[in-house]
Structure 1
Amino acid sequence: MTDTTRFAGHGVMITGAARGIGAATARRFAEEGATVLVTDRDGPEAEETAARLRGEGHAVWARVCDVSDRASVEAAVAHAVDACGSLDVLVNSAASCTPDTPLFEDGPDEAWARDLDITLTGAYRCCRAALPHLAAGGRGAVVNIGSVNGLQDFGNHAYSAAKAGLGSLTRTLAGHAAARGVRVNLVTPGTVRTSAWEGRDEELDEIRTLYPLGRVGEPEDVAAAVAFLASRDAAWITGTTLTVDGGLTAVNTGFRTAVRHPDDD
């Protein structure tokens, strides 16, 4: 059961929170008592998400934030401190994933730069702007949203490189921020049913068979992991990667299926 007071008095800022994992995470923190700032490049959709949660009685606000722009990030962080009263948790969920070209050598510089700038450097910008505020309260936490793409090959060269880099940034920042009372961790989801998969139910059904737990993830699965790492329940955890992937990266389901024991027949 959700603890409706675990984040009482906490201010939380989430990037890329208009939909999907970010929106589910905003709901989770709000339901646990936090005041939440939903940020996204899509201002109207961010406001729609925030308004829906406010209508349910939660303290949730919205702000346009383009993580590729330093001024936009700094303004959003300042707004979070003002709107929430403090900034205790930063969740970096904003990302860009450009489909690969059929041949690696045909990939445009622009697509590579965009994916790294939003997914990795965007998180860096947000952490840089938020860290003094997170440290001021003595209970600050950063949770970055990575991906299994940063751990193994699932395609998408630039996106995967950015997510792998986010893992490294998580560890180095955790080392720096620990003395300032701020914890920094990473959640790495597998396939999650978001709007990116809309109209692709047959494909998701095929993908589901690769997961030992027999299903793809839901945004709420990731939100629960984020809330744990940001909470006092994880007070002695920093610099770690929590893989939320239904066992995908731990178990080679295809191999286990191909190599069957004679007694299985």
Structure 2
Amino acid sequence: MTDLTHRFTGHGALVTGAGRGIGAAVARRLAQEGARVLVTDRDAPEAEHVAAALRREGLLAEAAVCDVADQGAVDAAVARAAAAFGSLDVLVNCAAHCSADGPAFEDDPDESWARDLDITLGGVRRCCRAALPHLAASGRGAVVSIGSVNGLMDFGNHAYSAAKAGLGSLTRTLAGQAAARGVRVNLVAPGTVRTSAWEGRDDDLDAVSGCYPLGRVGEPEDIAAAVAFLASRDAAWITGTTLVVDGGLTSVHTGFRTALDGSGAGRR
């Protein structure tokens, strides 16, 4: 049986968008399981804050500034991780950008569309392009990107959702090419997760919790656990897949079932 506390001992990992939320939880989970983690974010103080907190716990972490919209910054972060850790074995793409929709579809400015797609989808492409040679050289390389249920169903945010749907396609096509190089590529698609994006909106989180068959929204640690599984050798025969981690949201139509009998049990 795999020792879950040491699945990443000796592994070098790079996590983008790790200054907070899901990215920070992923960095912590990988470090707790033995990985040496480069915590990257475009916000330098936030990246260093997360890395410093991990080091205080005796975990192995460094921080670096990385704007995934800048190929030069991405190349530098990847090179630093490979040099500092001796290998780069795991890449986790968490960085994303989500613009608010306009009142009508035709009101969405081109700039918002371009930014959401460039960071959310283009950023993953840049990171994978820079990291793949190192991941292939490690002999155990794994890429895990963070998608969204927005890429599977309508939850608003046109550009962000289109970018997340694109990540599903990129995951499949890249998995097909990278497999011959010994690199696995997978995607985690979370539902609503309690992060700083929802700060001050506890009432909204309570309201949407009722939409989830498991009765709650997700926590960053829920997503980090799924990422750690897909990045580990426990998932050695899994590539090109999207793992939906959403408390049943996209599998069970809670509202429909409730409408049938008011109890959520549905008709029998």
TM-score range, shorter chain: over 0.9
Residues 1:108 and 2:129 aligned together: no
Tell me, in whole angstroms, the C-alpha distance in 2 between the residues paired with 1:246 and 1:187: 13
Name structure 2 gaps, 5 residues minimum.
none
Describe the SS at the equivalent of 1:259.
helix
TM-score (norm 1): 0.98
Tell me the equivalent position of 2:210.
209
The worse-fitting range, judged by mean Cα deviation, of 1-10 and 124-133 is: 1-10
Shift of 1:88: 0.2
Tell me, in whole angstroms, the C-alpha distance in 2 between the residues paired with 1:105 and 1:2: 53
Shift of 1:2: 7.8
Tell me, in whole angstroms, the C-alpha distance in 2 between the residues paired with 1:63 and 1:201: 32
Tell me the equivalent position of 1:76.
77
Q: Deviations over 1:116-136 (max 9, x none)?
A: 000000000000000000000
Residues 1:88 and 2:89 aligned together: yes
Paired residues in the alignment total: 265
Tell me the equivalent position of 1:257.
258
In angstroms, what is the RMSD of aligned CA positions? 1.6
- Residues 37 and 84, structure 1, Cα contact 8 Å, conserved in 2: no
Tell me, in whole angstroms, the C-alpha distance in 2 between the residues paired with 1:39 and 1:106: 33
Tell me the equivalent position of 1:15.
16
Shift of 1:4: 2.3
The correspondence of residues 45-194 of structure 1 with structure 2, limited to 5 A, is 45-194=46-195
Tell me, in whole angstroms, the C-alpha distance in 1 between the residues paired with 2:14 and 2:42: 14
Residues 1:37 and 2:38 aligned together: yes
TM-score (norm 2): 0.96
Tell me the equivalent position of 1:5.
6
Q: Deviations over 1:78-106 (max 9, x none)?
A: 01101222100000000000010011101
Identity of aligned residues (%): 75
Tell me, in whole angstroms, the C-alpha distance in 2 between the residues paired with 1:220 and 1:85: 28
Amino acid at match of 1:99: A
Tell me, in whole angstroms, the C-alpha distance in 1 between the residues paired with 2:46 and 2:109: 30
Describe the SS at the equivalent of 1:99.
coil
Name structure 1 gaps, 5 residues minimum.
none
Describe the SS at the equivalent of 1:100.
coil
Amino acid at match of 1:82: A
Tell me, in whole angstroms, the C-alpha distance in 2 between the residues paired with 1:90 and 1:83: 15
Tell me, in whole angstroms, the C-alpha distance in 2 between the residues paired with 1:153 and 1:165: 14
Amino acid at match of 2:250: T
Tell me the equivalent position of 2:220.
219
Q: Deviations over 1:181-225 (max 9, x none)?
A: 000000000000000001101110010000000000000000000
Describe the SS at the equivalent of 1:196.
helix
Tell me, in whole angstroms, the C-alpha distance in 2 between the residues paired with 1:32 and 1:12: 11
Tell me, in whole angstroms, the C-alpha distance in 2 between the residues paired with 1:16 and 1:238: 23
Tell me, in whole angstroms, the C-alpha distance in 1 between the residues paired with 2:144 and 2:151: 16
Tell me, in whole angstroms, the C-alpha distance in 1 between the residues paired with 2:138 and 2:261: 55
Q: Deviations over 1:63-83 (max 9, x none)?
A: 000100110100010011012
Shift of 1:261: 7.7
Amino acid at match of 1:125: R
From the superposition, tell whether residues 158 and 8 of structure 1 become closer, same or farther in structure 2 (CA, over 3 Å).
same
